Every structure is written in structure tokens, then in C-alpha cells.
Amino acid sequence: MACKAQTVLFKEYVEEGPVPPENFVLKEIDLPALKDGEVLLEVQYLSVDPYMRGRMRNSAGYFVGPFVPGEPVGGGGVVKVAETRAPGIEKGSFYSGMVPWTSPQIATKAQLEQMQPVDTEILKLAKLPISGYAGLFGLTGMTAYSSITRIGQPKKGETVFISGAAGAVGMIVGQMCKNIYGCKIVGSAGSDDKVEFLTKELGFDAAWNYKSMPTLQALNKFCPEGIDIYYDNVGGEHLEAALECARPHARIVCCGMISQYNKKGDERYGVKNLANVVFRKIKMEGFLLFQFLPDIVPEFFEHFPKWIAEGKIKDTEYVVKGGLANTGQAFCDMMAGKNKGKAVVKCVDKDPIMGN
């Protein structure tokens, strides 16, 4: 039987500056009837993440390809199989992965099988809502886990500086470095509220508001011994300060440079001390989660649920309500730093695991 669906369309490319909420256009569409081999999926949660800004420019697709104007926006999310005409796919089961911002939506069995089946038992063990698969158990958790284990390689007693530490990935990296590897962790964030959250709730050894304390001054104050790992979510002045305080053989994990994404060429921050990469034998490395997939997945699911159950990694979700109609605004708010932790948009009335 055919049915109605809601979708969020990408209006147009925005090369510079913030993307306005009006660039996300909510529309009602008709879905055709389900065919053999297809499933009908209901979106449960959608993830909004900084990397998506890159897809809103019409530039060469070195990262993930750009969005197409007039077509649905897409990103990480958790879906439920509402109807199935695909043998072997169970009605009521959940999957996480990359999905268009359309609900309900039709997918083929092959498309669904590219997603990760949600293990609801693991969620119950870790006391996480099903949105956990859009955050801690999804792209965010795997991004943090793979980059810090493969590039950062923290050793006990080392000092780790994380910029954007109250962001989705930063929080997990910090907790891993502190509670799993025994490092000293310091971090920057964009509000006093976030700074308090980092030190009081997440056990950061020090944190500061970069809007009121320059990064270099903060690093000199809190890490007079220098830093061994810089986990970069911000770029620009933060990166320059980290290079200034880097110890020999420091590793810089280039996860994001959000301070630079909205700027055009000339306005970007010029980093002047890259000669330190030579002098101090520094390794700087960018990555994309997909380069570590699928190898990282079993290892990740072996460790991560246990760490959460043991309280070593806290759930740091920032749930935005309002469903599909609110995803555009939620993206804009996340880019403006309004979230504390992983921003996800709730698209169901009640979480199927937690019942709230």
C-alpha cells in the first residue's frame, strides 16, 4: 500500500559562511507500494555532524561526495524495519548507518545489509537508548576509537590535548585517554558551562573556554611539560598552539578543523610554526572512519560496550526533539556550538529501548 512520507531536501550549495536553516526544506512526498525484496524503514534518530558542512559545498569530493540540490540530505541514523518484503529481514528489527533524511523510506535488502544491525541486548547492558547507535555505538564512537587507537596511540602518563573537547568525538576521546590509557587530559571548549562539564562530569584534568583564554596561554599554564597527543577538532590557532607545545614525536590526530570550515581562502588562519613538525619529529594525520572499516568493527564492539557498562565512557548524548522538521535547525545549532556532546535528533515519540 502506498503511503506518505516526510523528507528534508537540500536547497543549494553554500560555499562560505554558515548554512542557514532555510537551506533544509521539509516536504511531504508519496511513497510507492513496497515491492518484493524491499523494506519500509522508519527513522528513529538522525545524527548531525560537523563533517556534513563539507558536503554542502560544490567542491571536488575528496571527503564524502557533495549533497545534490533538490535531493534529500543524508547522514548517520538509526532506522526500524516497519514492513518487510525481503526474506530474512525481520519486522521490528533496527539498523544503523548512513540514511537519507526521509521517513518512512523504502530500501532494498542490499541497501539495508550495508548498515549495521542494532544489537538491543548490548544497549540494555550499557543502559543506552537506541540512539546509542547514532552516537557512542555509531559513527561517533567508532571515529573516536579508530583514530585514537590507530593514529594517536596513547601511552600511560602522556599528556593529551583535545580541542572541541565537549563535542561528540572529543568527549569520547578524552574519556578513553583518561580512563583506559591513563593519560593526563586537557581540553578546550566554547563556553564556561561546557568547561565545567568537562572537569566536573568527565574527569578532565584541566579545561578552558577558548573564547576567554588563548590556547597557547592555556597550554603553557596547564601543560608546562608539553603535549604528546593533540586531538584536533578545531584547527587554526588551536593547531598552531599545539605545535608550539608539542613534545618530540608528538602525534596530531586531525579529526576536524571546524574553525576553518565556514571561511574562505584569505580569511583562513595561517599556521606559521609548521617547521616544528621537522624539528620535533611530529606526525600529523587526517583520516576518514571508512578507511578503518570494516576491520575495526568487531574490535570496537568487543571493548566499547564493556567500557560503557563499567562507567569508563559516559553517555554524552545531546538529544534534540522535533523530528525531521527540526533536523536542519539542529545541524545549524550544532555548527554554532550549542550542543554539549553528540547531537542527535529524535524522530520517534518514545525510545524503543528506554521507553521515554
- The binding site for a second copy (CB under 8 A) comprises 54, 62-63, 235, 239, 248-249, 254-257, 260-261, 265-266, 268-288, 291
Closest CB 264 distance from a second copy, rounded Å: 10
Of residues 31 and 277, the one with the C-beta less far from a second copy: 277
Between 273 and 329, name the residue whose CB sits nearer to a second copy.
273
**What is the C-alpha to C-alpha distance for residues 52 and 330, in angstroms, rounded to an integer?**
12
Task: Output the smallest distance, CB 260 to a second copy, in A.
Answer: 5
Q: How far apart are CA 176 and CA 154, in angstroms?
A: 9
> Least CB distance from residue 163 to a second copy, whole Å?
13
Residue whose CB is less far from a second copy, 7 or 140: 140
Burial 320-329 (b: 16+ CB within 10 A, else e): beebbebbbb
Nearer to a second copy by C-beta: 11 or 238? 238
Q: CB of 102: closest distance to a second copy in angstroms?
A: 27
Cα distance between residue 100 and residue 116, in whole Å: 16
State the nearest-atom distance from the C-beta of 233 to a second copy, in Å.
10
> In terms of CB distance, is 280 or 303 closer to a second copy?
280
Query: Which is closer to a second copy, CB of 27 or CB of 281?
Result: 281
Q: How far is the CB of 232 from a second copy (least distance, A)?
A: 8
DSSP string, 72-92: B-EEEEEEEEEEE-STTPPTT
DSSP 115-179: SEEP-HHHHHHHT--GGGGGTTTSHHHHHHHHHIIIII---TT-EEEETTTTBHHHHHHHHIIII
Q: Which is nearer to a second copy, 160 or 258 (CB)?
A: 258
Measuring CA to CA, which residue among 273, 191, 264, 208 is closest to residue 18? 264
Q: What 3-state class would DSSP assign to 312?
A: coil
- Angle, alpha carbons 329-334-338 (nearest 5°): 100
Residue 286: beta bridge partners? 254
Q: How far is the CB of 211 from a second copy (least distance, A)?
A: 21
Q: Is 180 in contact with 246 (CB distance < 8 Å)?
A: no
Residue with Cβ nearer a second copy (91 or 283)? 283
Q: Which three cell numbers stand for residue 274?
A: 609548521
Closest distance of CB 282 from a second copy, Å: 5
Cα separation, 231 vs 204, in Å, equals 14
Closer Cβ to a second copy, 112 or 151, answer by number: 151
For 179-222, the DSSP string reads: IIT--EEEEEESSHHHHHIIIIIS--SEEEETTTS-HHHHHHHH
- Least Å distance between CB 28 and a second copy? 35
